[in-house]
Amino acid sequence: MLLDNWFLLQLKPNGQRLAERNLQRQGFETFLPMHEVTERRSTRFMTNFRPLFPGYMFVAFEAASAPWHKINSTMGVSRLVSMNGNPQSVPLDIVSGLMSRCDASGKLLPPQNLNAGDQVELRSGPFSDFIATVESIESDRRVWVLMDFMGQRTRIKVTSDQLQQTTAITVPA
């Protein structure tokens, strides 16, 4: 259900699960877009889901009729982002655009429109946060990328959900 009025709320540190659960119990619809992040811990790579906007969550309600004042006293919520004491709605096209890029659980989906020559950032695996160039895309959604690694151009096969499209910044020589 997509309501017309979406608002932004600030969460308490590590309060996203608690706030989401309590807001849904009160009848509010919430949206917390998540993305996959790979981190190196000691000798292992750990893949976790983190909020796309750390410390913030979207909540939907009708400002005129809903008792929105009780959001500020919900466990896990720091405050509803407002101006002059009134909550300010987030434009619907921003929220609907984010929702269209996420699955039902709020996980950010990989880009569908990769082309050969695109600059991408690897989001998971041992090469996470490396920038590469798409060389070719196979029918089974496997992508061959070229990456500068240890002074040589290296060809790596990855899945499209491990990639995030990026704009490369070139530094003049």
Whole-angstrom Cα distance, residue 120 to residue 148?
Answer: 13
What pLDDT, in 10s, does the model give residues 127-172?
Answer: 888 888 988 877 556 788 898 888 888 888 887 778 877 765 554 5
Instruction: Tell me if 114 is assigned to some domain.
Output: no
20 and 81 fall within a common domain: yes
Same domain? 78 vs 132:
no
Number of structural domains the chain divides into:
2
DSSP state, residue 24: H
Above 50 in pLDDT, residue 1? no
92 and 12: one domain? yes
Q: Are residues 137 and 93 in the same domain?
A: no
Contact criterion met (CB below 8 Å) for 47 and 124: yes
CATH of the domain at 160: 2.30.30.30
What's the CA gap between 147 and 138, in Å, rounded?
Answer: 18
Answer yes or no: is 113 within a domain: no
Q: What is the per-residue pLDDT across 73-124, written as a single tens digit (0 to 9) for each?
A: 999 999 999 888 888 889 988 898 888 888 888 887 766 677 788 888 888 8
At 73 the three-state DSSP class reads coil
* Average pLDDT of span 8-21: 93
Residue 154: other Cβ atoms inside 10 A: 14
Domain that holds residue 148: 119-165
Write out pLDDT tens, residues 32-66. Answer: 998 877 777 888 888 788 898 999 999 998 877 77
Residue 100 parent element (H or E): helix 92-100
Considering the domain architecture, whether residues 20 and 94 belong to the same structural domain is answered as yes
Q: Verify that 95 and 128 share a domain, yes or no.
A: no
What's the mean pLDDT when you consider all of the chain?
A: 83
**27 and 79 housed in the same domain:** yes
pLDDT attached to residue 7: 94
Is 106 a member of any domain? no
Regarding whether 85 and 139 lie in a shared domain, the answer is no
